[in-house]
Amino acid sequence: MIERIREKLTAEVEQLNHELNVVLPEALRKALQQGDLRENGDYHAALERQQFVHARLSHLRARLSKLSHIDLSKVPRDRVGLGSRVVVVDTQTKQRETYELVIPDAMDMDEGHVSVSSPLGRGLLDGKPGDTVTVRLPAGTRKLKIVELATLHDQVTDKT
């Protein structure tokens, strides 16, 4: 999971570096050839994009740095933690739901991902099968019973 995120962020860094070093200088050169820069929309748009690209690159580099500091040996093997796939049953509605706890950069709602820093993610952390956890969400409080758990370590073992 972490390697997949690292690859995704690295690909975006490479694309933005290309834009910053090739595409934007060409756009600025063309805009400068048009003359008066005070009313030159292309010039101002290119400068604005350049500032955005610099800011995004800074953010991505910070995220990559944080990724390299994640110690997988500290991810729990017997309770909900980063990378866990958790099946819960809502005690009120009896609806069964499956979530995978991920870092914010890996969020994909269509895949059932939940950020470990979200209210739902924080509520599930450290839970074990059989536990009922209370999760305080903006829409109200939910009680979820953990019925199945596959930790990050279980999933890595299953793939080998």
Domain boundaries of the chain, sorted by first residue: 2-70, 74-159
Strands 113-115, 96-102: pairing is parallel
User: Is CATH 1.25.40.420 correct for 2-70?
Assistant: no
Whether this model's pTM surpasses 0.75? no
Q: Report the percent of the chain where pLDDT is more than 90.
A: 51
The pLDDT tens digits for 35-56 are 778 888 889 999 999 999 999 9
Q: Please give the average per-residue pLDDT across 15-34, as a whole number.
A: 93
Q: Determine the CATH number of domain 74-159.
A: 3.10.50.30
CA atoms 102, 125, 65, 155: torsion sign: negative
The pLDDT tens digits for 79-124 are 999 889 999 999 999 999 999 998 876 677 777 789 888 999 999 9
Does residue 43 sit in helix, strand or coil? helix
**Residue 150 is encoded by which pair of tokens?**
């596959």
Count of other CB atoms within 10 angstroms of residue 106: 21
